Amino acid sequence: MLEARDLSLIYCNERNDEFYAIHDVNFFANRGEMIGIVGPSGSGKSSLLYILSGLKKPTVGTVYYQEHALEVMSYNELAEIRRKEYGFIFQRHFLINYLTVLDNVLSVVNRNDKFWRNTAINLLETLGIADFANQKPYKMSVGERQKVAIARALVSQPKIIFADEPTASLDHSNARMVMDIFASLKGEITILVATHDDSILDQADRVIHMWDGRIAKSSIPVSAIENIKQSNPIMHRS
């Protein structure tokens, strides 16, 4: 569904030396997979998400969405894919402070359509913030605003969610709730979660570990191995 070949992203520092934010990365995500991207600060997690979603162009390499190279798409084609098929949760939430919470969530769909309004209200209820629907986001806590951003990413029923530190401002139980929501969506929706906290990724199908812009290793969480064993009697016996 999403594939990247030979990606590098090169910046220049103030002395004009080149350095690699992303270095020779190859990546694929199948439909419905939940993939964690972990690594320390500065290891390239956000850069990788931005490149995979077409928000940033790599210096080298190509990203393919459903086998179409993003680099040959027109600005409008790419914008259309981002609007209809991708959901984004950024580290900065980019909420619109003069709109209500409900209208922020509806800002990515047709806000006058009853179906989307009901979908948005259901999401706010699931996330425990329905009482804030008619409030402005600046009156809410950071964690509550993060949940609004999560509802906005999910409301259009995207095919892929790109989530950059989606639980960063949440306490443990709210982080768990958000990861449970993601886990309930995987299978249908592809979910990429960048985080420095790998403890939230126990329900991921795969975790890739970034280090200095490279994928240092890829691993499968223990719970995902258990699921594979249960669905595969030969593995289960061993």
Ligand X SMILES: Nc1ncnc2c1ncn2[C@@H]1O[C@H](COP(=O)(O)OP(=O)(O)OP(=O)(O)O)[C@@H](O)[C@H]1O
Reported as half-sphere exposure (CB side, CA atoms, 13 A), residue 225 has a value of: 7
Among the residue ranges 36-44, 57-65, 118-126, 151-159, the one whose residues contact ligand X (CB under 6 A): 36-44
Question: Per CB under 6 A, does 11 bind ligand X?
Answer: yes
**DSSP at 99:** S
Nearest to 209 by CA among 27, 53, 57: 27
Site membership for ligand X, residue 81 (CB under 6 A): no
Strand order across the 18-29 sheet: 18-29, 2-12, 60-65, 68-69
Measure the CA–CA gap between 89 and 55, rounded to whole angstroms.
13
Q: Whose Cβ is closer to ligand X: residue 11's or residue 94's? A: 11
169 lies in the site for ligand X, by CB under 6 A:
no
Using the rule CB under 6 A, give the single segment among 42-50, 57-65, 104-112, 113-121 that binds ligand X: 42-50
User: At closest approach, how far in Å is the CB of 27 from ligand X?
Assistant: 14
Q: Which residue in 23, 35, 45, 52 binds ligand X (CB under 6 A)?
A: 45
42 binds ligand X per the rule CB under 6 A: yes
Least distance from ligand X to the Cβ atom of residue 111, Å: 31
Which stretch, 39-47, 72-80, 176-184, 219-227, contacts ligand X (CB under 6 A)?
39-47
Window contacting ligand X (CB under 6 A); options: 38-46, 93-101, 139-147, 180-188: 38-46
Question: In this structure, what DSSP letter does residue 43 have?
Answer: S
Q: Give the β-pairing of 68-69 and 60-65.
A: antiparallel
Contacts of 121-126 with C-beta under 8 Å, sequence gap 24+, read 123/151, 123/154, 123/155, 124/151, 126/181
Nearer to ligand X by C-beta: 87 or 213? 213
Residue 238 CB coordination number (10 Å)? 5
Q: What is the residue type of 161?
A: I
Nearer to ligand X, 7 or 129 (CB): 7
- Using CB under 6 A, which residues numbered 185 to 224 contact ligand X? 196
Question: Given the complex with ligand X, which of 216 and 235 has the nearer CB atom?
Answer: 216
Residue 43 binds ligand X, judged by CB under 6 A? yes
User: How far is it, in rounded angstroms, from Cα 23 to Cα 59?
Assistant: 10
Q: Which residues contact 84 (CB under 8 A, 6 or more apart)?
A: 156, 158
Minimum CB distance to ligand X smaller for 106 or for 163? 163
Name the residues that contact ligand X, by CB under 6 A: 11, 21, 39, 41-47, 196
